[in-house]
Structure 1
Amino acid sequence: MPELSEIMYSRDACVAAVRDYYDFLAKMYIDESRIIEPPEKGWPTLTTDTMEDLGKTDEVISLLAHLPYLSEDSTGDKVEVMPNCTFADWKADSEREVSGDDLKLFTQGVGLTYDSDGEHIDPVPPQVVGLASGHRENEVVLLDTKLGVVYWYECPGEIKYCEYPARDQVDDDPYDYAEENGGDEADAEWRGDSAAWAVADFFEILKDRFRELDFIPISPHVVWNDLPDSNRNADSEEMMEMLRAIYRKHDWPDLEKYRKRECLAAVHKALEERYPNVADWRVGHLNRKTSRPILTSDRRLTYFQLAIECVFLIVSHHPEPYRKLPNPQHLFMNFEEDEEEKRQEGACNIELDNDIISPSSQHEALPGIDDDIDALEALESEEKEFNKDAEIDRILKAFRLDAYAVLDLQPGVPESDIKRCYRTKSLLIHPDKTRNAQAPEAFDRLKKAQTELMDEKHRQRLDEAISDARMLIIRENKWTVDSPELKTQQFAKDWKEKTKLVLIDNEHRRRRQVKAQMQEEGREQKKVDEEVEARKRKREHEQDWESTREQRIGSWRDFQKGGDKKKKKKAKPIG
């Protein structure tokens, strides 16, 4: 794996990598006219003066000024460069004069802009800038212009822990790097939550997913995800197989033979015939009201967002406490209706194209929101408790011999991920921070799992057991390590079950060995005890013999002093 010391940042190399990636996408599905190239001296609206409010370094601004961008179409739709991800158009944003805080929110996501209490945070340092921007489900991709590394925040596990990646990830532990370079824990934490590659390697990883058709374009601007850990059902799998077959029929991924226009037309026709709802949805999915976030720095609106997203889940599980609260769907509908009325009256300054509510109109956009703040805060608190209860329940149901399962980690993760995961989960379920009576037991199991994984020998034994389970399945089915069956969900499920059996067998063997060892130790101890007892008796005998020595000598001397014995007189014979 590459190390940070081996990677160098270069603005021109970054620009070339982005341009090369756009060219690759243009050959597969996007319209070439969407790619807009910068002037020789860079975009004139992207300067250190115009972007001062962003709070980024001069190197970041220089990079943004020389990047090519993908323009919106006439309907305002952006091009997805991978599933659930559109890249930021910093040129257009600079022309709109969007505030620096809002730009950070767009490109860094809510998770790196607000904490769980709705307070504004900014753990991302000035030399790091977001490449992606879009709706709330948009992926977060950050580029560090000091290190020359791209971070994919909360990267899908199938990509982050891929067994045979197209390019290796950066090997350095972010916590060690932060400690050695004067960084803080907040900076190390988001880096630890990310997968990291050198810039060119990151784009090669994405290209490889398109080549393998794990990323499948369904139109010139929409890409779907077919990774094993994505949410799929039988219908979606059937549709994905259909789309995959269409692309291969048109010679993908051979760029020399691939027929782009014919392929996209065939995809469109197949979707209209067999999946008409998808065909209608794919055209304007980015403009749906339910998927476009309300982005603002106002804390109350953040509460509103969080509550609307979680309220249906909470009420469905705990309906009784909320019988008298406002219907959340009704509240959301009223919010949109009030917005529309104010737009018609010209009283609300909302830029819908950018999903921005201007600060001057934040309070007008939510009439009566103060009346619902207490209720929404109660909902948010209940949602936190629900998450804690769910995590405690998961830990208690996890197979306790598998420390990875208890921590909900993939086997083979680095120690930094183990530390980060334990820190996050232990804070979530700590007995002092939840009313759940099972929290102490769950916390103890979590701590034990972390201790086991941090023990190099124990972790090695666990990794060997997981590897043995994999090889057993391969041998039982007479497969090879390259068999396509190894990439299916069924194999992953069977592997998990086989791992349990191997771990149980190992545990039984360990217990038998411990028992035999204890018995052997018992026999040895009994022998030792008998020898000790024999030596003790001998020593006591010697001590008794020695203690009576004087008595024996005295008796002998007394005997000798007694003189000769009197001779017996001969008896005279009678007569």
Structure 2
Amino acid sequence: MASGPLTRVRDFFLGPLTAQTNDSEPEPSEPSSPTSEFVIIQWLPSTQYSQDVTVRAISSYYNFLSTILFDLQPEEIDWPPPSGWPQITEEDGAYLNKNKTVIELLRHLPYFRQPQGDPFVWMQDTPVLCYQQGVGYADDHERTLFVDPYESEVPPHVVSLAHGLVDAYYVMLDTERGVIYWDGCREMPGTELTSTEVVEKRHKWKTYSTFLVEDFFEMLKQKFRDLKWIAVNPTDIREIDYGSQIDEEYNHMRKALQDAGWPGDGEGGGWDRDAAAKKFSEIEEEFDGPIS
């Protein structure tokens, strides 16, 4: 089988999967075992997926992060050519068990150009998957990024966009329903969808809070605007969501951002980024080492 850059670690983690590149999938059968476990989940079953909307929402989030992640250089974000990343192929889709819709989306997304060492993150402890240059760090099991968090339990129309290991989040995109599944929501946001369905408990990703794609990335931006999340550098985003204790170091960083005019225009501009970066360096020295 021909292979692109995405194929180099698939066998290492999951072993080869049966090829499935078309967009048709069989309807799920009724459970046959009375001992199966089930949960009731909340979601909207008929949301319209749009590649253009998805690409715009994710690109907007990258643009936002590029203005707030200290030490991130412009060349460390790879933007796709108009025709998409040529190295992401249908052969990759077959090898990853992802359908043509998913592969076409991945070909048109921006990605971080991951450095050697700690990977760049979208949120706390959660690296993004950089499909344009291959997936994972096969020589470092502790920081390995997997193709799918639940292996064959994730169908071809659902793709993982970002996830790590300990204390990390999962971000799953469903191209049939046009929604994001995210396991980081412990509150009931206005954007969460509200239809119900009973599913087998082994499909754990379906139990995550469900968001429209544009709403999801807007919610992430708002966490930074509200200083519930603080971007220290491309490999370190800190949070105080859900009643976490605010330590002295976090308070110093928050004040530095406020003094610099954050959140500015709300989209990453209109504040003094250089002044905040200088203050963050002083905080790092005061606390005897890199902010952590």
Common fold: TM-score over 0.5: yes
Give secondary structure in 2 for the equivalent of 1:81: strand
Which one of 177, 190, 193 corresponds to residue 170 of structure 1?
A: 193
Which one of 78, 89, 92 corresponds to residue 119 of structure 2?
A: 78
Structure 1 202/248 Cα, relative in aligned 2: closer, same or farther at 3 Å? same
Inter-partner Cα distance in structure 1 for 2:109 and 2:229: 24
Which one of 105, 125, 129 corresponds to residue 88 of structure 1?
A: 129
Q: Is the 8 A contact 1:55 1:126 kept in 2?
A: yes
Give secondary structure in 2 for the equivalent of 1:267: helix
Q: Is the 8 A contact 2:249 2:283 kept in 1?
A: no
Q: Identity over the aligned pairs, expressed in percent?
A: 29
Match for residue 144 of structure 1? Answer: 174
Q: Is the 8 A contact 2:43 2:196 kept in 1?
A: no
Inter-partner Cα distance in structure 2 for 1:174 and 1:239: 44
Shift of 1:272: 1.4
Inter-partner Cα distance in structure 2 for 1:221 and 1:259: 21
Give secondary structure in 2 for the equivalent of 1:132: strand
Indicate whether 1:48 and 2:90 are aligned. Answer: yes
Query: CA offsets, 1:96-147, max 9 Å, x none?
Result: 998xxxxx971433xx24xxxxxxxx32111100001444433111000000
Query: Segments of 4+ in structure 1 off by > 6 A?
Result: none
More strand as a share of residues: 2
Q: 1:299-378, aligned counterparts within 5 Å?
A: none
Number of residue pairs the alignment of both structures matches:
241
Structure 1 125/10 Cα, relative in aligned 2: closer, same or farther at 3 Å? same
One-letter amino acid matched to 2:64: F
Structure 1 63/239 Cα, relative in aligned 2: closer, same or farther at 3 Å? same
Indicate whether 1:57 and 2:99 are aligned. Answer: yes
Q: 1:134-533, aligned counterparts within 5 Å?
A: 134-153=164-183, 155-157=184-186, 161-162=187-188, 165=189, 167-175=190-198, 186-187=202-203, 189-192=204-207, 194-230=208-244, 232=245, 237-255=247-265, 256-273=269-286, 275-279=287-291, 282=292
One-letter amino acid matched to 2:159: V
Q: Which has the higher contact order (CA 8 A, sep 6+)?
A: 2
Gaps of 5+ in 2: 1-41, 139-143
Match for residue 357 of structure 1? Answer: none
Q: Is the 8 A contact 1:17 1:203 kept in 2?
A: yes
Superposed CA RMSD: 2.6
Inter-partner Cα distance in structure 2 for 1:51 and 1:124: 14
Q: Is the 8 A contact 2:145 2:164 kept in 1?
A: no
Which one of 45, 60, 81 corresponds to residue 20 of structure 1?
A: 60
Query: CA offsets, 1:328-359, max 9 Å, x none?
Result: xxxxxxxxxxxxxxxxxxxxxxxxxxxxxxxx
Shift of 1:221: 3.3
Inter-partner Cα distance in structure 2 for 1:146 and 1:36: 27
Query: CA offsets, 1:251-288, max 9 Å, x none?
Result: 00013421112212211221211x11444xx5xxxxxx
Give secondary structure in 1 for the equivalent of 2:177: coil
Match for residue 126 of structure 1? Answer: 156
Structure 2-normalised TM-score? 0.74
One-letter amino acid matched to 1:203: F
Q: Is the 8 A contact 1:107 1:140 kept in 2?
A: no
Give secondary structure in 2 for the equivalent of 1:228: coil
Give secondary structure in 2 for the equivalent of 1:106: coil
Inter-partner Cα distance in structure 1 for 2:285 and 2:93: 44
Inter-partner Cα distance in structure 2 for 1:35 and 1:190: 28
One-letter amino acid matched to 1:90: Y
Structure 1-normalised TM-score? 0.39
One-letter amino acid matched to 1:84: D
Q: Is the 8 A contact 2:224 2:230 kept in 1?
A: yes
Query: CA offsets, 1:364-416, max 9 Å, x none?
Result: xxxxxxxxxxxxxxxxxxxxxxxxxxxxxxxxxxxxxxxxxxxxxxxxxxxxx
Match for residue 27 of structure 2? Answer: none
One-letter amino acid matched to 1:247: L
Gaps of 5+ in 1: 99-103, 114-121, 179-183, 283-575
Match for residue 475 of structure 1? Answer: none
